[in-house]
Chain A
Amino acid sequence: MGAWLARRSLAALAIVLAVVTFTFLLIHLAPGSPFLPPPGRPVDPDALLRTRHTFGLDRPLPVQYVRYLAALLTGDFGPSYSRHETAAAALAGAIPNTLLLAGAALVIDFSLGLALGCWQAARARRAGDVIAGSVTLFIASLPTFWLALVLLLVFGERLRWFPVGGLSDPVTYAALPWIGKLGDRAWHLALPALTLGLVGAAGTARYQRAALLEVLGRDFVRTARAKGLRERRVLLVHALRNALLPFITLAGLAFPFLLTGAVLVETVFAWPGMGKLAADAIFSRDYPLVTASAVIGSAMVVTGSLLADVLYAVADPRTRVPAP
């Protein structure tokens, strides 16, 4: 197990390095560059050259690459061109917001998805299951940002139950007591988390229903039923335990979904997280910030799938890969 884990971690590191290289090349091969004068406004060409020199953009590409990697080893992602802070600081400001959103969405996703999946499996192919199945299929097929807009329209604009965007109330937040601050945060979190959570839950429920039905056909379930156990106990104790295994993989795969879904949903709700930061960085050709977001994003994805593999091996000894 130890050797296997070491090999997997090394492979994960190599993947992140490859992503860094790929992003670096892509971004420097693209036409256009940062620090272009805005159209119609003359800029001192000397100043332009000086700025490019300050950021090392006048060096040959291999030199820039090696310098970037060397700095990366010390945790330095370079300065952000479009913000008055380092790329690391910009990310450090955005990551907690994304994790908060992703965490809340995952809670909704898994609790709702698991419950619905079990409920459907218990009445497979009956009316309730068919209706729930159609609804989850529809929700899983919607563009996430469109669902965000619809929820915004209904609960934000029309009913005015929730705010239409942002992290907290810009006017009153500072003056609130701590409990009020907490409430204000949760109130602003509700709609974006619900959007991502609902779409995720639809997928989870479909997955969980199929996994449970598969397990319900096995011999040990028949034995449990033959012992005279109640159906509820058979389903929730005997079958569910075994149907939860693939769930680990699903949890590992949820990372990229939350990251990509988050780009658009964060934009709709003006949520200052990683997705919105990355999109803004791309638009303003903020090279270091784009590369940094790609590094962090791919690191999260790779860690997610590595963690899922490890957990899977811990939970199910049959899948442990013998050390070669």
Chain B
Amino acid sequence: MNPRAWLAVTLAIAAGLAAVALLRRRAAGRPAWRRFFRHPPAAIGIALLVSVTALALLAPLAAPYAPAAQLDIIGLQNQAPSLLHPMGTDLYSRDVWSRLVYGARISLAIGALAMAVAVTVGAVVGALAGYFRRSVDAVLMRLVDVGLAVPRMFILLMIVALWEGLSLPMLVLVIGLTGWFATSRLVRAEVLSLRERGFVESARALGASPARVIFRHVLPNAAAPIVISAALGIGNVILLESGLSFLGLGVAPPIPSWGNMIADGASELATAPWSTLFPGLAIGLVVMALNAVADALRDALDPSQETA
């Protein structure tokens, strides 16, 4: 670690704390945000997520070494954590901290993008099924039944293994397209009740097209389940990516992702446990922060379902 890296870490932590302070100040006048900050873990979660994101953005500053650089394959293999290498080095003498920082970029980006795909498809399908009902609803929901019947990991394994050497954008797309089933069910339920409300009827009476009614009037009011499943979805995708990469089917080395770092370290578990432990801890902390934020969001956006 050099002073530049320490500076980047300090900056990232400061960004996280500042974000929470800013949000808290804005929360003062708004009941939903006040309910959100009634959960202490949610504030910690936001701080952590902003810090990790900042660190990922600042990766060239925060990482003292290039993520794939093999420093000294003979002399610096499997070094224990020290001041120079705060998380040790791995089998190929690469600095684990540098890889972790660059891996955050990949893992977070895959999580956010795949979730965006899943939530978009889920929201649109759910809205179509709930708004048009009858045959549209029946067909789409039977499709969802089938999608939910096969474990997601299993579909992913099949697609990724059969189409060898899937590019990163395709991987994101595939993960996203296998993750919208549950979201569409939630959105559909919300839309079914919304469509009977007066303002939807007025919009229709004014001659608004179905597309306009759905996107301008119905979906914005169904934001709660969408936002919550988005927060949970990112965490889920990060876990899935790590599982796929662990089997050697996710992000291909030498690009570091938290999942393939665990996979690389697993063979050296007995001699260099740090190269496995730290990426796993990083996944655990980020997913935990996302789950805590989702819990608080549920409380903030939907006071009827208080979870205490």
CA A50 – CA B249 in complex, angstroms?
32
Shortest beta-carbon distance from B229 to chain A in Å: 16
A210 touches B308 (CB 8 A): yes
Checking B150, B276, B288 against A141 with a beta-carbon cut-off of 8 angstroms, the contacting residue is B288
Which residue of chain A lies nearest to B269 when distances are taken between CB atoms in the complex?
A: A153
Given the complex, which residues of B lie within 8 Å of A298, measured CB to CB?
Answer: 149-150
Chain B 267-285 interface 0/1 with A at a Cβ cutoff of 8 Å (1 = within): 0011001001100100111
> Is B262 a contact of A15 with CB atoms below 8 Å?
no
The residue from A31, A124, A141, A263 contacting B308, defined by CB atoms under 8 A apart: A124
Is A213 among interface residues, defined by CB-CB distance under 8 A?
Answer: yes
Whether the pair B246, A15 counts as a contact (CB closer than 8 A) is no
Which of A23, A137, A150, A282 meets B288, CB within 8 Å? A137
| Chain B 196-249 residues near chain A, CB threshold 8 A | 235, 239, 242-243, 246-247
Q: When A142-B284, A298-B149, A298-B150 are in contact, do A290 and B158 touch as well, CB less than 8 Å? A: yes
Q: How far is the CA of A260 from the CA of B149 in the complex (A)?
A: 12
* CA distance in complex: A18, B307 (Å): 37
Distance in angstroms from A131 CB to nearest chain B CB is 12
Q: Is A252 an interface residue (CB 8 A)?
A: no
- In the complex, the chain B residue whose C-beta lies closest to that of A143 is B242
Query: What's the nearest-Cβ distance from chain A to residue B87, in Å?
Result: 15
Question: When the two chains form their complex, are residues B273 and A141 in contact, meaning their CB atoms are under 8 A apart?
Answer: no
Bound CA span A285–B157, Å? 12
Q: Determine if B247 and A279 form an interchain contact, defined as CB atoms under 8 angstroms apart.
A: yes
Known: A149-B262, A279-B157. A19 touches B308 (CB 8 A): no
CA of A294 to CA of B288, assembled, Å: 31
Given contact pairs A15-B149, A153-B270, A302-B149, A282 touches B292 in the complex (Cβ within 8 A): no
Contact across chains for A146 and B242 when beta carbons are under 8 A apart: yes
Q: Does A54 belong to the interface (CB within 8 Å)?
A: no
CA distance A267 to B150 in the complex (A): 19
Cβ A15 vs Cβ B308 within 8 A: no
Max chain B Cβ within 10 angstroms of own Cβ: one of A143, A145, A279, A290: A143
Q: CA–CA, A157 to B273, complex, Å? A: 11
Interface size of B by Cβ–Cβ distance < 8 Å? 43
Q: Is the CB of B145 within 8 A of A15?
A: yes
Q: Does A178 contact B (CB under 8 A)?
A: no
Given contacts A32-B164, A137-B291, A285-B162, contact A143 B146 (CB under 8 A): no
Which residues of B have CB within 8 Å of A143?
Answer: 239, 242-243, 246, 259, 262, 280, 283-284
A293 to B283 alpha-carbon distance, docked (Å): 30
Q: Which A-chain residue is minimally distant from B284 (CB atoms)?
A: A142
- Distance A131 CA – B104 CA, assembled complex (angstroms): 28
Residue numbers in B under 8 Å from A18 (CB-CB) = 142, 146, 149
Decide: A16 and B149 in contact? CB cutoff 8 A: yes
Q: Does A140 lie at the interface of the complex (its beta carbon under 8 Å from any beta carbon of B)?
A: yes
Instruction: Say which residue of A14, A137, A301 sits within 8 Å of B292 (CB atoms).
Output: A137
A152 within 8 A of B: yes
Q: State in angstroms the CA–CA spacing of A32 and B276 once bound together.
A: 34
Q: Could you say which of A124, A137, A146, A260 contacts B154, with CB atoms under 8 Å apart? A: A260
Q: Which residues of A contact B154 (CB under 8 A)?
A: 259-260, 263, 278, 293-294, 297
CA distance A134 to B48 in the complex (A): 15
CB of B23 within 8 Å of the partner chain? no
Partner pick for A259 among B151, B161, B163, B246, CB 8 A cutoff: B151
Nearest neighbor of A21 in chain B, beta-carbon distance: B146
Q: Is the CB of B284 within 8 A of A141?
A: yes
Q: Does B41 contact A (CB under 8 A)?
A: yes
Chain A positions within 8 Å of B290 at CB level = 141
Q: Which 5 A-B pairs have the closest CB atoms?
A: A30-B162, A146-B280, A141-B287, A141-B288, A260-B153
Residues of A within 8 A of B (CB): 11, 14-16, 18-19, 22-23, 26-27, 30-32, 124-125, 134, 137-138, 140-146, 149-150, 152-153, 157, 210, 213, 256, 259-260, 263-264, 267-268, 278-279, 282-283, 285, 290, 293-294, 297-298, 301-302
